[in-house]
Amino acid sequence: MNIGWIGTGIMGAAMAGRLQAAGHTLHVFNRSPAKAAPLLERGATWCASPAAVAQAAEAVFTIVGYPADVEEVYFGARGLFAAEKITAALVVDMTTSPPELARRIAAAAAARGLAALDAPVTGGDIGAREGSLSIMVGGAAAAFERALPLLRLLGKSIERVGGPGAGQQAKLVNQIIIAGTMVGLCEALLVAARAGLDQAQLINLLGAGAAGSWALQRLGPRIARGDHAPGFMVDHFLKDLGLALQEAEALGLKLPGVELARTLYEKARALGHGRSGTQALLLALEALNPAR
């Protein structure tokens, strides 16, 4: 197929590369062209705008940074929906953004005769490279079935969870779980370090028991070796936590655990780690607990 891909950041570039490696032709746009260079070197076609992507591809995938970026990609003056003639029959937004925005995209797509899915992912940079992401999909069942062969190149666990916006709601549930997990993980490894225990040994030992988790196995070793490189950035996680709290408020819920996680991640960002990986939360905890 002719696939349009918008957003070639940490995860997007790897995901697009998997579609390309499977034999699909890519038409690519990214705000920073240099980040698309590896895909272009392997034969992808550069497009000057999201509108140009919509005119060149049969299906378009988007994975950008923030809700404002999603707005610009879909509704901007050079956005997907601004194209004079849209070739694409399906648009799939894989950015984590507000459920309300996903519903607006779906409505605008339907008005133009297109199908739209909101399909945010979890699994970080490793999952993007390995094609082992979990993908939560909102939208019509027929559109989901059309997209499924392509989604299977990107993820191992793929479920349609409801209509437009439901994928985004499911992703926010995921981020709430991760928020609590990361606080516990970083606090535990800080205690281990201060007690003089071998963090790497504990990660292997405890990972086989009730404390085992994806975060412990994948991010624990990065914490143990002081590696703060991003698989998923603190800035983006703070965005997601804000969205989760907005959705909770709309549902009449208070989430003190998420509030705590957001406070700690704001501390990490204030320390200059907004573009570090979420495991940099440990640095915020260290700052709150200086060595004696």
Other Cβ atoms within 10 Å of 83 Cβ, number: 19
**Strand 133-138 to strand 121-122: parallel, antiparallel, or no bridges (unpaired)?**
antiparallel
Write out the two tokens for 43. 């034969």
Of 162, 115, 154, 116, which is closest to residue 135 (Cα–Cα)? 154
Annotated catalytic, 239? no
Q: Is 254 helix (H, G, I), strand (E, B) or coil?
A: coil
Beta-bridge mates of residue 28 = 5, 46
How many angstroms separate the CA atoms of 267 and 183, rounded? Answer: 13
Our CA dihedral for 70, 75, 77, 82, rounded to 10 degrees, sits at 120
Residue 272: partners with Cβ closer than 8 Å, 6 or more residues away = none
**Strand 59-62 to strand 133-138: parallel, antiparallel, or no bridges (unpaired)?**
unpaired
How many angstroms separate the CA atoms of 120 and 136, rounded? Answer: 6
Q: What is the DSSP letter of 241?
A: H
Q: Which of 35, 85, 171, 267 is catalytic?
A: 171
Of 265, 267, 260, 263, which is closest to residue 287 (Cα–Cα)? 267
How many angstroms separate the CA atoms of 28 and 123, rounded? Answer: 23
- How buried is residue 142: exposed, middle or buried, by Cβ count under 10 Å (0-12/13-18/19+)? exposed
* Active site amino acids: 171
